[in-house]
Amino acid sequence: MPHPPVPQYPVIIMTGNEPPQLPQAPNQQVLSSDQDRSNNPFVLPGCRLIAFADRCKAAGIDAGLVCALASFMVTAAHLLRAYVPQDDLGLDDTSMTAILITLPLAVSWLYFAGLEGSPTQATVGKLFVDARVRTIDGKPIGFIRASMRFFVKALTVAMLPVVLVSALLAYRFERRQAIHDLIARTLVVARDSK
């Protein structure tokens, strides 16, 4: 009985210090991370994705705003606890600790989900870089999807290795989606996109 034919693979010969040149299919297009992907078959026509650097700028602005707002609210809660008698508050130490832990999370959730689910479809940081969040179908996201996106993002940020993988996905993935975008089925696109 004859053996099946052996598939022919391209042979890569390296000479010197230059990187190997892999053969490409005739119609294959290699996309760099910063190249405009408006003709990308994985993205809706007329939809321009935001560069990774712009996403990082927006995340930095949003993180600064949320930290400032949460710090203000936690400081106010501490001052309330310090200057108002315990009996007037009706809170024991365990309840006050729970409030101080959940307050920053609630502020972050309302900031991100409220603004991304609003008609502007963007947080202050995303507005600064002219971006907005849309579904992969090109429709606005609502408060429920924005909330799901936030809580998945919060879980990935809480686990350092996962946030690094998520950032790598947003940097190299065709749709530039991080883990929270993949799960919520959203894209971060330019404001002038359809």
Whole-number Å distance between alpha carbons of 106 and 72: 13
Mean pLDDT of 105-131: 92
Mean pLDDT of 49-60: 87
pLDDT over 80 (residue 172): no
Mean pLDDT of 17-46: 48
pLDDT over 90 (residue 113): yes
pLDDT over 80 (residue 70): yes
pLDDT over 50 (residue 162): yes
pTM for the complete prediction?
A: 0.68
At residue 123, the pLDDT reads 93
Q: What is the DSSP letter of 185?
A: T
Farthest CA pair distance, the chain: 93
At residue 2, the pLDDT reads 65
At residue 176, the pLDDT reads 76
Residues in contact with 6: Cβ distance below 8 Å, sequence separation at least 6, in sequence order: none
At residue 24, the pLDDT reads 47
Mean pLDDT of 156-179: 74
Q: What is the signed CA dihedral for 117, 120, 122, 125, rounded to 10 degrees?
A: -140
At residue 161, the pLDDT reads 72
Whole-number Å distance between alpha carbons of 160 and 23: 37
At residue 33, the pLDDT reads 41
Q: What are phi and psi of 104, to 5 degrees?
A: -60, -35
